[in-house]
Amino acid sequence: MAHSSSSPSTVAVRSGPLVGSIRVPGDKSISHRALMLGALAIGRTDISGLLEGEDVLATAAALNALGASVMRLGDGRWAVDGIGVGGLAEPEDLLDLGNSGTGARLLLGMLATHPITAFLTGDASLRRRPMGRVVEPLSRIGARFVAREGSRLPLVVSGAAQPVPISYRLPVPSAQVKSAVMLAGLNTPGVMSVIEPQPTRDHTERMLRHFGARVTVEIAEEGQGRRIAVEGLPELTAAPVVVPGDPSSAAFPLVAALIVAGSDVTIEGVGINPLRTGLLECLHEMGADISLLNERDEGGEPVADIRARSGTLTGADIPADRSPRMIDEYPVLAVAAACARGRTVMRGLAELRVKESDRLAAIAAGLASCGVRVAVEGDDLVVDGADNHPAGDALIEARLDHRIAMAFLVLGLATNRPVRIDDAAPIASSFPGFIELMNGLGAAIAEDG
């Protein structure tokens, strides 16, 4: 497969046992929301454990451009001096959200009910991603958008001077769309509500309550899914936030420990929000040796230390309704499936086609090039495990996708021959220090040439 000559490829080779205790970077979803709600609160919000990846830093820069004061105090420690609900100022320049779909979609929600005009753009990957799913409900509230075909970035948003609360039924489960509508509701008189057909991650609801907003969650009248309502024009008050370790990042060393013989790894302080633990359920069904230790609550979010030990995994049938609770973990679950005994079927993965890359195609192509029997059947991914060590000996196109890059580096630790990825640079968007952390446990990952 072709790869750019500008950056060296990165290679993972079969590893000895991975052993040790680590911390992974802060939860990306919670980091974005802590900055945004801190900006809309009155007073100073102190944040610890913030993910300092490129995506979150792009959100911080955008909020500074909108009139909040977002300052880094030290390693993972940040302070946000908020400007209150309704206080966003018109930015003087483009807001560049880099690779962050979360940052872009949630920020559009905030901007939609402020009477200002802003121009948003992002990197090549983000400019390909569809924004129509948030543009549609935000237009109903009264915001106006000018965008490229398919509502793609770069785009212009002019917020509504007199926003109208709506009740919006999500056409597909999406925490980002739900959150965008709820954030728009903060600066809208009345009650804004979202009906979701199946539960998606609820970090926005939890954090809104943490900052003093009134949020209710109830069974929708139609009996289909949940209605989440937020009362407009609250006085949000600054509140300290401890950001737990990101379960989507923890997934990579976790699966590595399961598939590399003799491994015993503990990942400390990981968020175990029940709407994010789909991967843990899948791995338990596959027979993984995983235990949760020291369970506790921090800043409204459940947290635990996760211990993973290697062992034999067996294939499983993963139901479609689990996907909202693990949408970012399918690349690394596919790696676990490739090293398992028997067949794993992951159902209902249409959403993977519109992530940082077409992840479904990228996973299938990468596994096939490593000698794994794999098929995409409609929206299902079928992986026939190699019962321990797949062949490897492949160069994987990461397609500017951090999770594809990390998943195949993890696979390379268990394959018979090395696995290379064409470009490791995107990993910094969500997991700065990933390679160093893995090598500290005993992995063998290095730049290749």
List the pLDDT tens digit at each of the 449 positions of the chain: 334 445 689 999 999 999 999 999 999 999 999 999 999 999 999 999 999 989 999 999 999 999 999 999 999 999 999 999 999 999 999 999 999 999 999 999 999 999 999 999 999 999 999 899 999 999 999 999 999 998 999 999 999 999 999 999 999 889 999 999 999 999 999 999 999 998 888 999 999 999 999 999 999 877 778 999 999 999 999 999 999 999 999 999 999 999 999 999 999 999 999 999 999 999 999 999 999 999 998 877 999 999 999 999 999 999 999 998 898 999 999 999 999 999 999 999 988 988 877 899 999 999 999 999 999 999 999 999 988 789 999 999 999 899 999 999 999 999 999 999 999 999 998 899 999 999 999 999 999 86
CA-based R_g, the chain, Å: 21
Q: How far is CA 165 from CA 142, 149, 205, 232, 233, in A?
A: 9, 27, 17, 9, 12
Task: Say how far apart CA 206 and CA 213 lie, in whole Å.
Answer: 10
CATH 3.90.550.10, applies to 28-242: no
Residue 329 CA: distances (Å) to CA of 37, 155, 407, 446: 26, 29, 9, 23
pLDDT in the model for residue 354: 81
28-242 has the same fold as 9-26+244-448:
yes
Q: What is the distance, to the nearest Å, from the Cα of residue 190 to the centroid of all Cα atoms in its chain?
A: 30
CATH superfamily of 9-26+244-448: Enolpyruvate transferase domain (3.65.10.10)
What pTM did the predictor assign?
0.85
Q: What is the pLDDT of residue 199?
A: 87
Both tokens of 264, joined, read: 């015993």
Q: What does the pLDDT read at residue 3?
A: 40
Domain ranges (residues) in the chain: 9-26+244-448, 28-242
328 in catalytic set = yes
Q: Tell me the C-alpha distance between 14 and 177, whole Å.
A: 41
Q: What is the pLDDT of residue 220?
A: 83
Q: Which of 9, 14, 1 is nearest to 410 (CA)?
A: 14
pLDDT at 282 (0 to 100)? 98
The residue type found at 236 is L
Choose, from 328, 401, 422, 423, the residue flagged as catalytic: 328
Rounded to 5 degrees, what are φ and ψ at 401? -115, 115
**8 Å CB contact between 419 and 408:** yes
**CB contact at 8 A, 257 and 308:** yes
Q: How many other CB atoms are there within 10 angstroms of residue 269's CB atom?
A: 20
At 355 the pLDDT is 80
pLDDT at 449: 65
Longest CA–CA separation in the chain, Å? 62
Three-point CA angle 249, 303, 329, nearest 5°? 30
